[in-house]
Structure formats: C-alpha cells, structure tokens
A and B are shown apart, each in its own frame.
Chain A
Amino acid sequence: MPEDRRKTKSKYTTDRNIPGAFEGETVTRRRFMTGTAHTAGAIAAGAFTLPALGFALGPIFKKHNVPWQDVGGVNDFPDNTYIPKTITIVEGIGEAGRSTAYIRKRNPQIDTDKPDQYNNFIAISTRCMHLGCPVAYRSAAQRFICPCHGGVYDFLGQVTGGPPVRPLDRFYTREVNGRVQIGPRYSVNRELRRFSPRDPGEPLDGIGQYLYPSRPSVRKIPGT
C-alpha cells in the first residue's frame, strides 16, 4: 500500500489510503456527496423546466376540432359564380376568429377532382397561399386576387400569377336535409388532390409534401 494515495491508480479507496475507507468501496464519500448535490439540483431544475416546456409546446400536439357549420340551402348556390359566406374558424374570440369562404355548386364540366360526398359544393378558403392574406373573388375577371403581394388564382383556385405556391385551400362540404354544411379545411396540390391542411407558403407539389409534413393539430378526414 503506497504512502501517498495520489500515486496509486487503484479504484478501491482502501488501496488509496483514504481515511475511513472500507473494503470494496470505489466511490469516495466526497465524490458521492458532489454527485448527489448535482443530481438533486438537476431534478429540481427539471421539475419546473420540463412541465413548463410541455405547457408551451402542448398546443402543437393538441387536435383542433372544427364543427360543421350551416351556410345556407342547397338552392342558394349557383354553379357559375361564388357566394361569399362568413364562417367561424375559432370560437369565442370575436371577429378575429372569423373568416370568409366562397361557395358554389359543383360543376362537373370544369371540376375535375374526384367526386365524393364532400365536394358536391366547392368551398374555397380566402387564405392566400403565399403568406395568408385574405383574397377576394372578382366576378368580372373570375379571379381570386390577393391585396398584399399580387397573388392571382383562377375560378378553380389554381394559381395563375404572383407568388403563391399552391392552389387555394378548400373546406369539406356536405348536404344535410337540404342544407349545405361546411366543415374542416384541407389543402390541395396542383392536381387538386386532397392533403391535410398546410400553412400558406408551403408547396405540395413534388418534394414539397415531404418538406412540409402534416401536423398532429390538423388532419384531413381519413380516407378522403
């Protein structure tokens, strides 16, 4: 047993001449105390940091439910022009939670997307797919025009000019007892294929749908 405990490499405290060492002990009491204090500090800090982070990040994973809303009778909507309707996107926050949708009856001669129970009426969202400003339908030009950066969309909502990266979003629609109801939002690519809702500025053609994945907070209706 060497005289100077710093000169030995042994992991046993008894070999290192540490006062109070006992057989088989490898961790000194000082090291154990330091480790305990650090662990206790880390647990205490984590105890308030992790819940706070979860609290702030929670809304990313929370499903946002959109109720079906009545927008009018089935005969209120022609198939050659759009009727604007005010809809509620978020409840309980007044005007800030409202938006406008442009609605018309499906016209089989121009609407080439696959018909199903959710698109007997075409409901176009006014959210510009450049950065989210509100577009307006100009019936004389049969175009949707965005006031912010000059995005232009045709009658189907396809981009015909300006910076938008994909056609205008749509809403699911359905008929219930002769009334038209408008439901959740979905996004479309250039072939008008349905995708889970994406934010503006996120293309869905080619690699875009993988670069901008869908979010847990909003999904399209499964199987549509």
Chain B
Amino acid sequence: MPKLKLPKLPAPPLPPSMQPPPPRPGTTNGNGKSNLPPAVEAAAEAGTTVVDWLDERTSLSGATRWLLFRKVPKGTNWFYTLGSATMFAFLNQAVTGVFLAMYYDPSPTHAYESARYITNTAFLGEFVRGMHKWGSTVMVILVFLHMGRTFFFGAYKYPRELNWIIGVVLLILTMTMSFTGYLLPFDQRSYWATIVGVNINGTGPLVGPYLSDFLRAGPEFGATTLSRFYAIHMLLLPGLIAALIGAHLYLVAKLGTTAPPWLKAEVDPELREEEA
C-alpha cells in the first residue's frame, strides 16, 4: 500500500511574545546557525527537551493549557482568590501535618510528651506545630469567606450547583478535621473538649449512642480512641478532601467562573439594533 501523502498544513501563527528571539549579534556566523559548541547548545535546550519528551508521551500540555489558560469574565477581583487561598491553607496543613507525624506518637501515655517534644526540643518544631495549629483556624475562616463569596455573587446557581454541593461536603470534612485534630495534643483542654464533642454526637436520637460508641471505639474513652482519631485525621479525611478538591477544581475549570453580580451582561450590538 503506497504511503498516503498528506498536505502539510501551515503552522498557526505564534503571537510576537512567543516567537523565538533573533539571535544575539556575534552568536551566529552569518547563515543563521549557532556558532556555540553543540554541547552548550544542547544544555541550553535541555529544559525544552525534557518538557517535549514528557509531552510527547503524556499530552499533558493540552490539559495544562485547558486548566490554566482560561477566559475569565470582566470584573474578576480579589474575592475570586479565596478558593485558591483555602487550597493553599489545606496544602499547608497537609505538608506540616506530614512532618508533625514524624515525631508524634498517638498513644494515650505518650501523646502529650511527644507533642511537648515537638514544641520544646525538635528543631523548628514550635514553628511547624504553630503553622499547623494556626493554619487550621485560617483554613476554617477562609472556607467560610469562600462560601460567602460564592453565595453573595450567586455563583452557586445553574450550572454550578454540584460544585456548591461538593463545597458543602468539603466544609463538613474540614469541620471533622478540626474535631479529630483537636484531641491530638492530648492535654486537658483537648481531652475534655473531645469528651464533650463525642457526647454531643451521642445526643442524636436513636443513632446517637452507637455513633458515640463508634467514635470512642467503646463505651468509655479508651486505649484506641486517640489512635482512631489520629487515623481519621491523618489518613482518611485528607485523602477524601484532596479527592474532592480535585473534583471541585475540575468543575471550576470546566464551567468557568461567574462575573460579579453588579456587572450587566453585554448585549450583542446586532440584537441591540433590532430592539431599537
């Protein structure tokens, strides 16, 4: 079978900023070819080569362009950054949490001592623990600000209802994170706050008693309550939150952001003439 000859399509024009710059004087020998040694030339192109190699095998550049080079409506302002701010607060919690886990020991007899070791002895321990502790408060505040922005800008309306629902689930998961994380320092405050919190769960009719038994792993605050809270806090919930943030972002990229409510939609000039 003879090889099919396809017409060669012209490459789409590149915007001026993306066109290759003209060679610097003295670097070429008149015929447009570089007079640098080939090794230096290759080193200068290494980054492009690596990215090209990856892109040829994954086609990731299309997805990246789809995700990052989106059209945004007129009037987009600083309030639209609250979602990213929340995500970075979560990333801060994830990263500091991973490193706190290197020192923390979730056993009722050692938890308080290990937390105290992090604060008083470990290098930068007070800073990392502080970032995690205060970061959690920052994250909760940002979640609510982000939710308020969405509500007041009407950004929950069609077709973005599902993203609102995912956001509400993320809010509940964030609160569960706060609840399970509060016990981990295992001082008097976290112990009694957890007792009270579990008992509030127990006041739900019919299911409450079993729910509090589930949270405590038994009828009393016991040997595995702390490790149960720790596993929920550091393994179960972060995985769920990360997955749902992915879904949340996918829908944002797919549906685009809304214009602020004070911006009137521009009518097509032709239609405007018809109306007149």
Contact = CB atoms under 8 A, between A and B. Distances in A.
Interface string B181-193: 0000010000110
B109 A218 contact: no
Nearest to A66: B220
Contacts of A64: 218-220, 222
Nearest to B194: A132
Interface stretch (B38-46, B72-80, B199-207, B252-260): B199-207
A94 B108 CA distance: 7
Given A93-B108, A96-B108, A202-B202, A59 B223 contact: no
Contacts of A70: none
B196 A131 contact: yes
Interface string A59-72: 11010100000000
Contacts of B140: none
B205 A59 contact: no
Contacts, number: 87
B229 to A, nearest CB: 13
Give chain B's interface residue range (CB within 8 Å of chain A). Answer: 20 to 34
Interface in A94-137: 94, 96-97, 131-134
B210 interface: yes
A84 interface: no
Contacts of A217: 213, 218-219
Given A217-B218, A218-B219, A211 B210 contact: no
A198 B209 contact: yes
Given A94-B108, A97-B108, A132-B199, A199 B212 contact: yes
A201 B202 contact: yes
A215 interface: yes
Contacts of B210: 60, 215
Contacts of B220: 64, 89-90, 97
Contacts of A57: 214
Give chain A's interface residue range (CB within 8 Å of chain B). Answer: 20 to 34
A93 B223 contact: yes
A217 B200 CA distance: 19
A59 B213 contact: yes
B224 interface: yes
Interface in B74-125: 108-109
Given A131-B195, A132-B199, A202 B208 contact: yes
Contacts of B206: 211-213
A19 interface: no
Given A89-B220, A94-B108, A215-B219, A60 B195 contact: no
Contact of B222 (A93, A148, A199): A93
A197 B218 CA distance: 12
Q: Which of A134, A148, A211 has the most CB of B within 10 A?
A: A211
B138 interface: no
Given A93-B109, A200-B199, A60 B214 contact: yes
Given A131-B196, A133-B196, A201-B202, A59 B218 contact: yes
Q: Which of A64, A92, A201 has the most CB of B within 10 A?
A: A201
Contacts of B213: 59-60, 215, 217
Given A97-B108, A97-B222, A215-B219, 17 more contacts: A59-B213, A64-B220, A90-B220, A93-B222, A96-B221, A131-B195, A132-B199, A133-B192, A201-B200, A201-B203, A202-B209, A211-B205, A212-B202, A212-B205, A212-B208, A217-B218, A218-B219
